[in-house]
Amino acid sequence: MGASVGIGGLIVGISMLVVFSMAYQAISSQIDSGLDRLEDADEPIPTFTIDDAILFDGAVVDYTIATPGTGYTDGTLASSTGGGGFAGEYTVDGSGAIINVVITSHGDYVSAPTLTITCTTACTGNSGTGSVVPTLGNAVYANFTNTGSSTIDFDNMWVFTNGANPAPFDTVYTSGISSTNWFTGETLFLQWVDTGTIGQDRISMTVGSTTVGHNFS
């Protein structure tokens, strides 16, 4: 009889421990969930503006060195037709052949312009045979200002045009100060060039749950 009572008491005790453990886990889960909601509530919603946005749909966005030539010295490129504002710089190898071009101004054209090659110092030998052919595409110029109270990481920023083709911000923006953060009150200048995926009407940025758009002018 005493043994039965002892076993029954042990079973009841174990059952109470199981119930207590389950209740403790449930309360802990609720506390953690509540703390997460409080932390989320403490994080301010990102706020920002797109101050302006311009699209040039005839910008020089790429090039092909069709004929490297020989006898050139490092120099500059400009358009001899169209008057669209293109400018670039080129470098040469030991034979004076053009091996690289850097676009410094993309311009805006109705059709691809003819590019002229100008040596910085006197060209020598068989210069004049080189040819660089431009490729037209889209260039977006826009200013974004962080008007909120928190710093935003570039990893949380996306830009897209016409509601499509989203791109991570840090893939189309180059920071002048090697930073990956958008600080409070800071204005970022975006120069985004592409051969064809940029939409023609509107640019938008999304940060977290906030999306802001601006029509191209």
Q: How many CA atoms lie within 13 A of 147 on its CB side?
A: 9
What tokens were used for 148? 């909120």
Exposure of 133 by Cβ count < 10 A (0-12 exposed, 13-18 middle, 19+ buried)?
middle
The model's pTM? 0.73
What tokens were used for 105? 């101004």
Backbone torsions φ then ψ of 199, nearest 5 degrees = -70, 165
- What is the predicted pLDDT for the residue at 38? 47
Strands (E), the chain: 48-67, 75-79, 87-92, 98-105, 115-119, 131-146, 152-153, 157-161, 164-168, 181-182, 187-194, 202-207, 210-215
Whole-angstrom distance, CA of residue 142 vs CA of residue 199? 14
Backbone torsions φ then ψ of 73, nearest 5 degrees = -115, 165
**Whether 182 contacts 47, CB under 8 Å:** no
User: Quick one: CA dihedral 46, 52, 58, 60, positive or negative?
Assistant: negative
- What is the predicted pLDDT for the residue at 167? 94
User: Quick one: CA dihedral 94, 100, 102, 103, positive or negative?
Assistant: positive
What tokens were used for 64? 């092909």
Please list, in sequence order, all residues whose beta carbon lies within 8 angstroms of the beta carbon of residue 160, skipping any fewer than 6 positions away.
Answer: 166, 167, 199, 203, 204, 206
3-class state of residue 199 by DSSP: coil
**Whether 204 contacts 213, CB under 8 Å:** yes
- What is the predicted pLDDT for the residue at 94? 93
Q: pLDDT for 142-163, tens place per residue?
A: 999 999 999 999 999 999 999 8
Whole-angstrom distance, CA of residue 45 vs CA of residue 35? 18
**Residues of the chain predicted below pLDDT 70:** 1-42, 126
